[in-house]
Amino acid sequence: MRYSTIVEKDDKTLLEIIAALEQFEQERFIAGIQARHYTKYDIEQALDMVTSYQSRMNVEARSLVRFSETFIRQFATDNNKCFETAQRYFNRIRSTLCAIKKVFQKTTPRSMVQLPEGTQQPTVFERSPLSYGACVIDMWGLASYDECVQTLYHKLETLLTTATTTLALCHQMIESEEKIRQDTQQLKSIYRESCEQLMDSVREFAGFLGTVQQLPETELNRRRQKARSIDEFLKKEYHNVAKQEFKQYVFLEAMRQGKNEGLTEEEIYLFHDDHEKVRQVRWAIEHFDEMDVEGQQGKLDSTRMVYFLKWCGVGQAKEKRLYKYFCDTYRGRYSLLVWSAVSKERKDQRDGGITDRGAAACFQQMVDELPQEAMTM
């Protein structure tokens, strides 16, 4: 969608609007209301209009700030399907742009001059005294006008200041996006972070695994295969792929790579693409009885079991699922514990001040103390 002459396919017009807003000052404001011969009634109407615009602009400005905090560090976004670079930002400040244009129109003299054929119509920003050309300085200044005129000036000043700040943020985001698109290391970092965040969405990945019978191809998977390099792929797809499509791509790629290396779906779910960790965990379970893991009454020791879970590093949300994986894989001589016993020990350790890192280090020490021949992998 295009917003008259305001929105363009790049950010050139954005800079022109910001420049126009920065021209606003008392003398131009006075010239603007004089150009339209405003009455007191007109001023009061304009006051209501500006107050209304300010409220809407505040909402959009806050929304844009929040949007800007995460947008750059996301590889995929749902804010890119219908808009080009500048347009996706303009779409978030739709009321702001309309408000600015109407404010400038309110101070622009009406012209009945017929332009020659083929001549481009000047924009409202090129005709309004608020931003264009020289203006006659009023001898007595703003203080000589009624209070409603002074109030309108101050409210308009606040409105245009908010607009300038908001549009400047848009321009900053556009520049930042393009800089990252040209920065291979940044792109790879954002890509990895986005993949990890998706793989950490426990329920979604578990649900995805439950519905996949075979590995389908998505359009994004095909584009990845056709790309000459990962750098070319990341540069082209950054902010040009929707979240749902990217999610399917990440899950499918994780499953494909994992299965190529002999990982089960459960291992892919638990450890993502950390295939070396899977190898270490398999080895640790196979050699579990060779470590000091015996508890009471022939059962596994709950303290050491929690150490193991923390050493695996899957995060607390996945540890119950990890313990089930352990139970399904363990072939040792000790009896398995019920999950409630492991969960209680985990809580006791946390309450006792044992950190996840500390618990993981304890299990690593157990691994390191094994005889050299046992550690041959």
Residues 147, 161: one domain? yes
Q: Is residue 374 part of a domain?
A: no
User: Is residue 223, in this structure, part of any structural domain at all?
Assistant: yes
Residue 2 lies in a domain: no
Task: Give the total number of structural domains in the chain.
Answer: 3
Q: Where are the alpha helices (DSSP H) in the chain?
A: 12-22, 26-35, 40-71, 85-92, 94-106, 124-127, 147-181, 184-199, 202-211, 219-226, 230-237, 243-260, 265-271, 275-286, 302-312, 319-329, 339-351, 356-368
Query: Distance between CA atoms of 245 and 230, rounded to whole angstroms?
Result: 18
199, 267: one domain: yes
Last residue of a domain, one of 227, 255, 273: 273
| Pair (300, 233) in one structural domain | no
Q: Read off the DSSP letter of residue 116.
A: P
pLDDT at residue number 327: 96
Q: What is the pLDDT of residues 323-350, one digit of tens each?
A: 999 999 999 999 999 999 999 999 999 9
61 with 164, same domain: the answer is yes
What's the pLDDT band for 130 if we cut at 50, 70, 90?
Answer: low
Q: In terms of domains, do 49 and 145 share one?
A: yes
pLDDT of residue 81: 47
pLDDT tens digit sequence for 10-20: 455 667 777 77
Give SS3 for 161: helix
**Closest to 269 (Cα-Cα) out of 334, 328, 204, 221:** 204
166 plus 38 within the same structural domain: yes
Of residues 146 and 187, more confidence is placed in 187
Residue 7 lies in a domain: no
Per-residue pLDDT, 315? 87
| For residue 252, pLDDT beyond 60 | yes
In-domain check, residue 373: no
The pTM of this model reads: 0.60
Has residue 187 got a pLDDT over 90? yes
Q: What is the mean pLDDT of the chain?
A: 79
Whether the pLDDT of residue 141 is over 70: the answer is: no
Q: Per-residue pLDDT for 261 more than 70? A: yes
In the predicted structure, residue 298 carries a pLDDT above the cut 50:
yes
Residue 111's domain comprises 12-181
Is it the case that residue 377 has pLDDT exceeding 50? no
What pLDDT does 247 receive?
A: 85
3-state secondary structure of 335: strand
Is residue 112 domain-resident? yes
155 in the same domain as 102: yes
Are 72 and 157 within one domain?
Answer: yes
CA–CA gap between residue 199 and residue 254 (Å, rounded): 9
Q: Average pLDDT for residues 30-46, to the nearest whole number? A: 80
22 vs 122: which has the higher pLDDT: 22
Judgement on whether residues 302 and 161 belong to the same structural domain of the protein: no
Domain identity same for 259 and 283: no
The pLDDT assigned to 219 comes to 84
Q: What is the mean pLDDT of residues 283-291?
A: 94
Percent of the chain at pLDDT > 90 equals: 27
Domain finish residue from 273, 301, 332: 273
Terminal CA-CA length for the chain:
60
Lowest model confidence (mean pLDDT) among 90-99, 280-289, 304-313: 90-99
* Distance, CA of 185 to CA of 193 (rounded, Å): 12
Sign of the CA dihedral running 231, 216, 325, 345: positive
Whether 5 maps to a domain, the answer reads no
State whether 161 and 294 are in the same domain.
Answer: no
- Token couple for 231: 């750098």
Whether residue 285 is contained in a domain is answered as yes
Q: How confident is the model at residue 201 (pLDDT cuts 50, 70, 90)?
A: low
CA distance 193 to 44: 52
Which of residues 212, 246, 273 is at a domain's end? 273
Given this model, what pLDDT does residue 3 score? 32
- Domain match, 154 and 75 both: yes
